[in-house]
Amino acid sequence: MKMLVTGGAGFIGSNLTEILVENGHEVVVLDNLFLGKKENLSSAVDSIEFVEGDVCDRQLVFEIMKDVDYVFHQAAASSSPMFAKDLRGAVAVNVDGLINVLEAAKMYGVKRVVHACTSSIYGNNPVPHSEDMHVEPPNAYAASKFAAEHIGRIYSAENGLETVGLRYFSVYGPHEKAKGKFANTVSQFMWDMKDGRTPVIFGDGSQTRDFTFVRDVAAANILAAKRPGISGQIFNVGTGVSKSFNDIIDMLNAGLGTSITPKYVNNPIKNYVKDTLADTRKAEKMLGFRARISLEEGIKEIVSLEESRM
C-alpha cells in the first residue's frame, strides 16, 4: 500500500512514518520543515520518498497524491502561540491545507483520509470529554482545528471520500525536539530539568492533562485508516487517565534523579484550559483503540533517550 503522510518529518508524523515503513508500506512524506526535520526520519530515510513542500501548495499536493492509497494528514499549525504571530497564515495551513488534501484525494481515488484534530476544542467543558459533547474552542488554534475537522466530515458526506478525524490529547514522546517552545509540557519540563533549569508552571500546578504517548497516537492513525465502517466518524485519542503538572514534575525528578522545585507564576493565558481527560469508550468500541503506554513508561523512555544523547 502507498501512504502519504503530510507533516511526516514532524513530531507525530515522523513516528507514524517509521511504523508504516516497518510494516512494509511505501511512504511519501510531505513536509515544509518548519517544525519538522529530516533527522526525525533517519531510521526510515532510505525507504521513503521525501518531498519538501507545503500543504497550502495546491498544485504540489495534487502532484504527489497520484497512486496514493491512504493519507495521514498531520501537517498543521499545531500550537496556539503560532496564531498570535500569524493568524491568517496559521488558519490557512489548518483549513486550506486540509481542503487541498481532500480535493486531491477525491480526484485520485484515495481509499481514506485520516486527519488530525485536537482535544483543545473541548475547552473548559467538564471532564471526561466525549465526542458528542458540545465543543467550546478557547482560542484561534482550536477553532481552526475544529473548522477543519467539520469540513472533513462534511466533505466526506457530500463527496463520498472516506475520512476519519482524530482528536489528540496532549501528545508527547520522541522526535519532539524540533518543536522547541511549541513542544508538549512533559518534554519542555524534562529539557529544563535535565539541564538544571527550573521549570515554570502557570498557577499552582494542579491543572491536569490526559498525556498520550506518540506511538499510541500513531497506532490510532493506522487503525483509523484500515477499520471498516467508520468513515465520517470522529474519535478521541487519549489514555482515559489524567495527571497534574505537579505529578509530571515528581515523575521527572524520579526519572532524572533530581529534586527540582518548579517556579509557580500567575497564569497570563486567557481562556486557559484547566483540565483535559478523554472519554475513550467510542474509540475502544468502534476503532478498536486503547492506549498501551502509561505515562510512567513514556516518561522513562524519553528520559532514557535524552540521557543517551548526553
Q: Which residue do the cell numbers 488534501 mark?
A: 101
CB proximity list for 91: less than 8 A, separation 6 or greater: 77, 83, 140, 144
Whether 236 and 280 have beta carbons less than 8 Å apart is answered as yes
Beta bridge partners of 168: 118, 237
CB atoms within 10 A of CB 290: 13
pTM of the model: 0.97
Rounded distance, CA 83 to CA 60, Å? Answer: 24
Catalytic residue among 141, 155, 168, 172: 141
pLDDT at 299: 98
Beta bridge partners of 237: 168
By C-alpha distance, which of 270, 298, 260 is closest to 202?
Answer: 270
CB atoms within 10 A of CB 117: 25
pLDDT at 228: 98
DSSP H/E element including 98: helix 97-107
pLDDT at 181: 87
pLDDT at 80: 84
pLDDT at 77: 94
The amino acid occupying position 113 is V
Q: What does the block give as the cell for 232?
A: 465520517
Packing angle between helix 11-22 and helix 214-226, nearest 10 degrees? 60
Whether 300 and 252 have beta carbons less than 8 Å apart is answered as no
Q: What CATH number labels 177-208+242-277+296-308?
A: 3.90.25.10
The amino acid occupying position 29 is V
CATH fit for domain 2-171+214-238+278-292, picks 3.40.50.300, 3.30.750.200, 3.40.50.720, 3.90.1150.10: 3.40.50.720
pLDDT at 310: 59
Residue 155 known to be catalytic: no
Q: Which residue do the cell numbers 511549541 mark?
A: 182
Listed by start position, the domains of the chain span 2-171+214-238+278-292, 177-208+242-277+296-308
Rounded distance, CA 221 to CA 204, Å? Answer: 35
For the chain, 310 residues long, give each residue's pLDDT as a single digit of tens: 999 999 999 999 999 999 999 999 999 999 999 999 999 999 998 899 999 999 999 999 999 999 999 999 999 998 888 898 899 999 999 999 999 999 999 999 999 999 999 999 999 999 999 999 999 999 999 999 999 999 999 999 999 999 999 999 999 999 999 898 889 999 999 999 999 999 999 999 999 999 999 999 999 999 999 999 999 999 999 999 999 999 999 999 999 999 999 999 999 998 999 999 999 999 999 999 999 999 999 999 999 998 887 5
